[in-house]
């Protein structure tokens, strides 16, 4: 693979649990690293464990978690680092707040119908949430506010991983945030 010239930016993958945020972000991270890019991954689950420990799943706590991820994203991206965020980030207002603070913010909506998510769910969380056994489950007993105008929309029920990654890569190239050096 060729090397990559890049600006600092934040690539924010949002979507419901099991939609494919981590899978797509892992593939993008591999592609960025193979091209010699300076890149960091902020995965929602890892951030919750290390930066937002003690927060619950109320709207206020979820927004606090997103603001913290946004703060770290801002610091890294303004210093020339590519930041890939994979976080459910269910509330539009919190994502828009981060967008307003972070230069070169690119939102990717990782979309997949609930029926498909429930079939993919090896832990059975969707089944339990649909049965009312799990409180505050995003998209079932708690809202998920899909982006109104994401820069990229991927449909993981209709696209291959390579197609989804390719759509994101193309948008980053189109915006001039990355430039392959052949």
Choosing from 73, 77, 89, 164, which is the catalytic residue? 89
Spatial separation of the C-alpha atoms in residues 32 and 82, rounded to whole Å: 9
Tell me if residue 2 is catalytic: no
Q: What is the 3-state secondary structure (H, E, C) of the chain?
A: CCEEEECCEEEEEECCCCCCHHHHHHHHHHHHHHCCCCEEEEEHHHHHHHCCCCCCCCHHHHHHHHHHHHHHHHHHHCCCCEEEEECCCCCHHHHHHHHHHCCCEEEEEEECCHHHHHHHCCCCHHHHHHCCCCCCCECCCECCCCCCCCCEEEECCCCCHHHHHHHHHHHHHHCCCEEEEC
92: which 2 tokens? 């539009």
Instruction: Tell which residue, 72, 22, 36, has the closest CA to residue 178.
Output: 36
List active site positions. 89
């Amino acid at each position: 693979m060729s090397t990559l010239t890049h600006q600092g930016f934040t690539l924010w993958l949002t979507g419901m649990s099991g939609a494919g945020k981590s899978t797509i972000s892992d593939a993008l991270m591999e592609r960025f690293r193979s091209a010699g890019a300076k890149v960091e991954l902020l995965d929602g689950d890892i951030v919750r464990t290390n930066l937002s420990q003690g927060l619950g799943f109320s709207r206020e706590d979820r927004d606090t978690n997103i603001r913290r991820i946004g703060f770290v994203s801002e610091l890294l991206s303004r210093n020339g680092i590519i930041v890939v965020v994979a976080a459910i980030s269910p509330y539009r207002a919190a994502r828009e707040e981060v967008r307003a603070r972070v230069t070169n913010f690119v939102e990717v909506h990782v979309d997949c119908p609930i029926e498909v998510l429930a079939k993919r769910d090896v832990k059975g969380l969707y089944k339990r949430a649909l049965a009312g056994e799990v409180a505050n489950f995003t998209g079932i007993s708690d809202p998920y506010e899909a982006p109104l105008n994401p820069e990229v929309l991927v449909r993981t029920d209709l696209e291959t991983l390579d197609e989804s990654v390719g759509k994101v890569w193309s948008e980053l190239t189109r915006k001039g945030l990355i430039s392959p050096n052949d």
